[in-house]
Chains A and B, each alone.
Chain A
Amino acid sequence: MLESVLQTLIFGILVGALYALAALGLSLVFGVTKFLNVAHGDLLMFGGYASFWVFSLLGLDPFLTIPTTLVALVLIGAIIYRVLFIRMVKLTEETKIKNTLLVGFGLSVILQNLALRFWTADDRGITASYSGVAFTLLGVRFPLVRLASLLTALVFLLALHLFLRRTYTGKAIRATVQDWEAATLMGIDIHRVYFLAFVLGAALAGVAGTLVAVNYSIEPSMGLNWTLKALIVMVLGGLGSITGTLVGGLALGLTESATSLLLSNNYREVAGLVLFILILIFRPQGLFGTKEA
């Protein structure tokens, strides 16, 4: 019994870190631009396919496909921003959220159909040569691929944290989140900040997609499900806090695993949604968010 509890805990943490990474980009984009990009999960799906392609064509180690996936998603993000989202920069916050929702859903349909055309509806996955390898500690299994994924997720969370805290550009992004008009008066070009945040968000979705392809499988209609996960984590953690996003991701991962263990695997998704509703009722600013901003 103890072993299965521990095992549940470990798997909860491993999947939770992935949820955190999936939410990181959505949260960054929403925090900076107030664009609620519901096609975030579809960008994640494209990231998975980008890695799948490089992996199948070149036979690289799955984790070494991350750099090309980053580049691909930066380009895709840049195009999507320039063609679609740039038109919504000047709207008031409420209209912006509404309009980006509509645009996001449309974009989601387009990206799904593109994926169907390029890669068919079959499930695809990336199987590393060491995918069966796991080591056992106290009767608990630690699969190598999952551990490497956890590490990757943590590296990207930390990297974004340091970027926002230590660099001039990062500080400009944080200033824009707090008060975009005051940021403009500092000489910050908020259009560039918006663009940068959007592209970074797409790139982060891409890496999360790689990890999904390595740990699970990918298919063209997976996007909405991942947007939903990311949204739950974003609401759980509260906006503008990377620590919050990590904790939110872990909370969702652990809740899901605990539900599988205690009830049944069928209720995993339900548990996440219940958690989502509870947070909205009792702590709408999120676990780590402040009421304002």
Chain B
Amino acid sequence: MLNLQGVDAFYQDIQALWGLSMEIREGELVALIGPNGAGKTTTLRAISGLLKPASGSIQFLGADLGGQPAHKIVALGISQVPESGRIFTGMSVLENLELGAFVADARKAKDSSLKWVYEIFPRLEEREGQLAGTLSGGERQMLAIGRALMAKPRLLMLDEPSFGLAPLLVDQTFELITKINREGVTVLLVEQNIRAALELASRAYLLENGRIVGQGTGKDLLTYESVRSAYLA
């Protein structure tokens, strides 16, 4: 479904990704793990078009994403929940969700998507008219995920959805991600909460210094010696 081949990416003069190759198949829940500054967010930005890769190719469902602007990539079926949600705090919960369905295809299905999102997050329906800026941390994360789902994505990319949440909410968030994946949405999950992410994921990639240094099923990586010693000990 999504295929990255030898992707290099830079922030000004600093190379952030080095020949990155990875693949996500339809229906999978893939985790991308690694320490701070490894290039996880950069990888998501390269896929979503916010950062243009310097070389390499990114293919999604047969389309070449390399040269496309970010707003067109959303229309192709890739939604991103950015780090810390980035909801529109000055707008109501409902307006945030409506904006999630901005692209033409999603807009046609807006009403049914809204029903679907409210089924997953009943709390958002209760808070529909409230300003998003008045929501609690957990509710903001729900809104950010709900907003991304409104675009009816084929691939949902989440950037550290557990960041800053209380432990109980972290568990709930991971359960919800599994549920969304079971409903047919392919998921690419970036996480620092490595144990939880590996338990959840069907497969995982380990990223260090902008390079893929390990991959396998979640269980493989959980028992992988270097991962154990570096992150789980």
Contact = CB atoms under 8 A, between A and B. Distances in A.
Interface in A165-189: 168, 171-172, 174-175, 178-179, 181-189
A163 B209 CA distance: 47
Given A171-B95, A171-B98, A187 B88 contact: no
Contacts of A178: 88-91
Contacts of A172: 99, 102
Contacts of B90: 174, 178, 240, 293
A42 B80 CA distance: 42
Given A168-B98, A175-B99, A178-B91, A186 B74 contact: yes
Nearest to B79: A185
A171 B99 CA distance: 7
Interface in A269-293: 293
Interface in A186-202: 186-190
Indicate the member of A178, A185, A189 with the most B CB atoms within 10 Å: A185
A225 B71 CA distance: 40
Contacts of B80: 185
**Interface size grouping (class) on chain B:** 20 to 34
A185 B88 contact: no
A174 B92 CA distance: 12
A185 B74 contact: yes
Given A185-B82, A186-B102, A175 B48 contact: no
Of the four ranges (under 10, 10 to 19, 20 to 34, 35 or more), the interface on chain A belongs to 10 to 19
Interface string B21-61: 00000000000000000000000000010100000000000
B69 interface: yes
B48 A174 contact: no
Determine the main DSSP class of A at the interface with B: helix
B75 interface: yes
Contacts of B107: 168
A179 B70 contact: no
Contact of A174 (B69, B82, B91): B91
Nearest to B144: A182
Contacts of B147: 186
B102 A182 contact: no
Contacts of B117: none
B151 interface: yes
A175 B96 CA distance: 9
Nearest to B150: A186
Contacts of B86: 179, 181-182, 185
Nearest to A189: B71
Nearest to A174: B91
Interface of B: 48, 50, 69-72, 74-75, 79-80, 82, 86-91, 95, 98-100, 102-103, 106-107, 147, 151
19 contacts: A168-B102, A171-B98, A174-B88, A174-B90, A175-B99, A178-B88, A179-B86, A181-B86, A184-B70, A185-B79, A185-B86, A186-B71, A186-B74, A186-B102, A186-B103, A186-B147, A187-B74, A187-B106, A190-B71
Given A175-B88, A178-B90, 14 more contacts: A171-B91, A171-B99, A174-B90, A179-B86, A182-B87, A182-B88, A184-B50, A185-B48, A185-B50, A186-B74, A186-B99, A186-B151, A190-B71, A293-B90
* Chain A to chain B: the 10 pairs with minimum beta-carbon distance, closest first: A187-B74, A187-B103, A182-B86, A184-B70, A189-B71, A186-B102, A187-B102, A178-B88, A187-B71, A186-B99
